[in-house]
Structure formats: structure tokens, C-alpha cells
């Protein structure tokens, strides 16, 4: 029996999954739909799709599995426009980052919410810094030696979760099952907050009167922090990510505002005992993470313990005199 799979949106992730299926799966039909017909052509030429669909309605009616890879902010509108064509037993797999309310919102428009899961992949470390977001950036081993976070809520059908796990294993990754709220919080830490800080920093710097001259010497530092805005994860409209996960972002922003206020005060008072450990600890934390993420080994701990800022040691041992 043939399983009909509809790739709803053709980008690096969905095209890579199509390549994985070509090599490892049998009895499947891989159809694709994308507003940009050039993406469809590229995926077919690469062997990631068997065919395109003439109309979205046609593709949806036949689909046993829908892999959603169109921009995050459009998903509810897309589902609403095709809900009358979705088969009751169809599984709907969201390949995008989710927010805290994604499952409750989808439940209002999807015919069978029990078939909906979130499938978010951490990429093969060797492709971690690639910025190509289209089908031309697809790789058969894009998910090898990585993790895939699979989320369903209390009403999710076990077969939908099994599909997510099987797809992760098929792609050469380790499936990690989690809850929607936990996944949204994880994404806020590792994806959304860095993206927002990149946007705010880039906007602030380039709007200052001194930018006219500063741009002439801006180099590695500015390039690195602003480069996040070109990440494939942003799906053309980075602001949609901010709105989807706004509750988690607000919580993290409150913590950041508190820390920035403390740093501002430390700088004003020339308080190096408080300020310097913040920088050194950040450098150490990045070095540890980079090594762990590159090797995909999460059990090795850092060789140096982070320094405690003065206010932390005060809580433990009482206030010291400068």
C-alpha cells in the first residue's frame, strides 16, 4: 500500500527529508506544493520529490501525511484554507519552531488535532552554520548525528508520535519526545532570544548618528551578531517567530532587562568585581557548548568552574568589603 506524503513548502529541511525518503523508504509517493515553482523544480531535479501537485486542494485530498514547511506565521491561515480537504486520518507534521499556544490554536482549525505533532530538528553539526535556506541547501545527511524534538499534547494519537519518531530515525537522528510547553521554552532560549537580540542590536547600531563612520570599521563582531537575521530558521519573516513564542520571550526579556540594569549600574560604579565575571563566564559557557554541540557529547563538563559574581557570594557568605 502506498503512503501519500505532501510536502507543504519546499525548503532546505523538507527537501532533505525528501532525499532521506528516496534512499531509505519504500511504497511512498512524495508530492510537493510551494508558491515558488522554482523550489518545486529544484526538489524534483534533486530527486527529493516524485511530482508536484497541480492545485493545493488536490494534493491535500490525497495526503496521508502532510509535512508543513511554509513560514510559521502562515500556518493557521493555511490550515483554515485547506481544512475541508484534509482527510480525517491524515497526520499533520509541523517542521517549524512552535510557540506556547501552537497546539491550542491548531486544535481550533484542524479537523483531527490528534494527528498533529511538532517535529523540530537540530541539524548535523557540520551544517550548523550554513545559511542556505532553499532546496539548494538540502543534504541527505542534514539530520545525521543530531536530535529531533517531537512534541504532542495529551490528545495526540500514539500513531502520530510513532510517525515522528520513525521519521527521525529514518533521517539518522535521535528522537527526543517532549511536551509543547517545554519545547516552546527550549526554542525561546536557543533560537528566539538570540534572534531578537540580533535584530535589536543591528537596528540600534545602524540607527545611531555615528554609524555613518562606524560602518567603515565594523567587521567580525557586527557581522556575526547581525548574521542571525539571515538564518534559515527565520523563514523569511523573523518577526513571525517573535509573535508565535511571545510569552516565553517576555519572560526571558524580563530577566535580561534585570541583568542589563545590573551591568549598567556596575559600569556606572566601575564595579569590576561584578562585571568582569559576567564576561568571562559567558566566554567559558560558549566554549563548553561549542565543543559539546560539535561532538554531540553532552556528558563532558567544563574543566573550569564559572566564577560567581559578588552578589551571588554575598548570599552564601555575607557581603565583602571592597
Q: Are 104 and 48 in contact (CB under 8 A)?
A: no
How does pLDDT run across 161-194, given as a tens digit for each residue? 999 999 999 999 999 999 999 999 999 999 999 9
- Alpha-helix runs per DSSP H in the chain: 12-24, 37-46, 56-62, 75-82, 102-107, 158-170, 180-187, 193-207, 211-214, 220-227, 238-244, 246-268, 272-295, 310-317
How does pLDDT run across 237-278, given as a tens digit for each residue? 666 777 888 899 999 999 999 999 999 998 888 888 888 888
The CA angle 156-160-162, to the nearest 5 degrees, is 120
Confidence of residue 317 (pLDDT cuts 50, 70, 90): very low
In the chain, the N- to C-terminal Cα span, in Å, equals: 76
Confidence of residue 229 (pLDDT cuts 50, 70, 90): confident
Question: What gap in Å lies between CA 217 and CA 220, rounded to an integer?
Answer: 10
Helix pair angle (246-268, 180-187), 10° resolution:
40
Rounded to the nearest 10°, the torsion over CA 237, 240, 242, 247 is -170
Task: Say how many C-beta atoms besides its own lie within 10 A of residue 52's C-beta.
Answer: 18
pTM: 0.87
How does pLDDT run across 30-60, given as a tens digit for each residue? 999 999 999 999 999 999 999 999 899 999 9
Q: Please, what are the domains in the chain?
A: 3-178 (3.40.50.720), 183-317 (1.10.3660.10)
Question: What gap in Å lies between CA 36 and CA 41, rounded to an integer?
Answer: 9
Amino acid at each position: 500500500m502506498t503512503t501519500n506524503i505532501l510536502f507543504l513548502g519546499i525548503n532546505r529541511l523538507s527537501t532533505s527529508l525528501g532525499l532521506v525518503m528516496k534512499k531509505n523508504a519504500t511504497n511512498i509517493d512524495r508530492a510537493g506544493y510551494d508558491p515558488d515553482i522554482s523550489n518545486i523544480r529544484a526538489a524534483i531535479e534533486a530527486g527529493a520529490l516524485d511530482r508536484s501537485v497541480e492545485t493545493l486542494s488536490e494534493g491535500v485530498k490525497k495526503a496521508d501525511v502532510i509535512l508543513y514547511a511554509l513560514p510559521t506565521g502562515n500556518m493557521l491561515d493555511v490550515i483554515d484554507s485547506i481544512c475541508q480537504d484534509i482527510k480525517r486520518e491524515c497526520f499533520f507534521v509541523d517542521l517549524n519552531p512552535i510557540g506556547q499556544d501552537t497546539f491550542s490554536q491548531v486544535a481550533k482549525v484542524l479537523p483531527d488535532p490528534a494527528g498533529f505533532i511538532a517535529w523540530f530538528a537540530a541539524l548535523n553539526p557540520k551544517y550548523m552554520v550554513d545559511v542556505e535556506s532553499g532546496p539548494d541547501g538540502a543534504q541527505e545527511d542534514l539530520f545525521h548525528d543530531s536530535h529531533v524534538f517531537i512534541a504532542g499534547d495529551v490528545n495526540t494519537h500514539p500513531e502520530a508520535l510513532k510517525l515522528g519518531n520513525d521519521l527521525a530515525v529514518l533521517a539518522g537522528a535521535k528522537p527526543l519526545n517532549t511536551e509543547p510547553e517545554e519545547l516552546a521554552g527550549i526554542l525561546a532560549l536557543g533560537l528566539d532570544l538570540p534572534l531578537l537580540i540580533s535584530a535589536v542590536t543591528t537596528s540600534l547600531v545602524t540607527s545611531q548618528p555615528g554609524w555613518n563612520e562606524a560602518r567603515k570599521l565594523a567587521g567580525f563582531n557586527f557581522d556575526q551578531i547581525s548574521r542571525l537575521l539571515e538564518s534559515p530558521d527565520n523563514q523569511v519573516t523573523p518577526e513571525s517567530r517573535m509573535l508565535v513564542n511571545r510569552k516565553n520571550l517576555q519572560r526571558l526579556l524580563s530577566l535580561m532587562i534585570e541583568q542589563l540594569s545590573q551591568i549598567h549600574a556596575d559600569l556606572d560604579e566601575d564595579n569590576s568585581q561584578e562585571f568582569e565575571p559576567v564576561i568571562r563566564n559567558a566566554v567559558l559557557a560558549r566554549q563548553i557548548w561549542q565543543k559539546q554541540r560539535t561532538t554531540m557529547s553532552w556528558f563532558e563538563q567544563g574543566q573550569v568552574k564559572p566564577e560567581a559574581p559578588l552578589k551571588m557570594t554575598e548570599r552564601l557568605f555575607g557581603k565583602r568589603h571592597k
